[in-house]
A and B are shown apart, each in its own frame.
Chain A
């Protein structure tokens, strides 16, 4: 008999679960894409420390790539910061649609400012997929375990890519860049809820068009327009089903 009371058995379980999930496909995908980033960073003239700090600090691959490319091109500083900021504006809606699920029973809500930094496309998608299966108090441990694991893996990938830079054949290096979007696409394609599926289909079609139309705001516009369309269509379909 062990008299020691664990904080919550489901919390310890959730940590294991988060680490295990991170060590699966996310590890493979992040090693591929962060290796691609690491080698790009070296070619762009960044030091290893800068590359690693950008992975921890920016923690968003598209924004990191924009940073390296504009840094290498040596353009206007203000334009560079704005471009990175716009490339990462998606974190506002992403945070707003994940953080409320992490608030349950949280005494010091200041921690949310740290959690917000750990929100990424993968941690968002995995948590939204897992959370319905987890009790509310197990969500924070799962999120933290998953997010911190993929951050550690990404640091390894960045360093590896930096070291391997220039040795990878070009077709392989290019293929590594494609791994991340393919993975995220399949992850999203797994969605079953009707408003989400409608929003996804609209988003896929609208994304590139909006990007051409408004390079800076295209992504946010896509989310708002296509997301609202999916949400509204679902509400209309629900209303129709009810006999009037």
Chain B
């Protein structure tokens, strides 16, 4: 019972700690014009941040994915990008082939 209760308190705190950033964006953006320079800069910051996040998730992932060789993850990423651009920007093709590449490499590793 206590352990269960603790988990809920922890989760609520995590939710609050996350919402803090989202909520803060409302007053801080209230004076930003959607067509202005400041907005354009903020857009660049966000794109760069997402790019950094994705590259971190691939190169330095959290959790069990970190136990796989980084080369496998990078090869899968390059396959996804190549398939995407050769396949006329088909997202399913890119994501599908990239994931299959990674799956094959990890399966090969586990083989006899």
A interface residues with partner B (beta carbon < 8 Å): 25, 28-29, 40, 46-47, 50, 53-54, 57-60, 62-63, 65-67, 69, 71, 77, 80-82, 84-85, 88-97, 99-101, 103-104, 109, 112-113, 116-117, 119, 121, 124-125, 128, 170-175, 177-191, 195-196, 198-208, 210-212, 218-220, 222-231
Contacts and interface: CB of A to CB of B under 8 A. Distances in A.
A174 B60 contact: no
Contact of B99 (A90, A103, A182): A182
Nearest to B83: A186
A67 B7 CA distance: 10
A125 B73 CA distance: 23
B56 A207 contact: yes
Nearest to B30: A109
Contact of A231 (B41, B58, B109): B41
Given A50-B8, A125-B50, A183-B91, A230 B44 contact: yes
Contacts, number: 296
A144 B65 CA distance: 32
Interface of B: 4, 7-8, 10-15, 17-26, 28-30, 32-34, 39-65, 68, 73, 76-77, 80-81, 84-85, 89, 91-92, 94-95, 98-99, 102-103, 106-107, 109-110
26 contacts: A25-B92, A25-B95, A53-B15, A80-B14, A85-B20, A92-B22, A93-B42, A96-B29, A121-B50, A124-B50, A172-B103, A174-B64, A174-B102, A175-B99, A182-B94, A183-B91, A184-B50, A185-B54, A189-B85, A195-B44, A203-B49, A208-B59, A223-B48, A226-B51, A226-B52, A230-B44
Contacts of A219: 49, 52-53, 56
A101 B40 CA distance: 12
A212 B14 contact: no
Contacts of B92: 25, 28
Nearest to B97: A182
Contacts of A208: 52, 55-56, 59-60
A186 B80 contact: yes
Contacts of A59: 18
Contact of A116 (B4, B13, B22, B73): B22
A188 B54 contact: yes
Contacts of B68: 174
B44 A85 contact: no
Nearest to B100: A175
A191 B98 CA distance: 20
Contacts of A125: 50
A202 B52 CA distance: 8
Q: Which of A67, A124, A174, A218 has the most CB of B within 10 A?
A: A174
A183 B95 contact: yes
A96 to B, nearest CB: 4
Given A175-B106, A181-B54, A182-B80, A190 B89 contact: yes
B48 A222 contact: yes
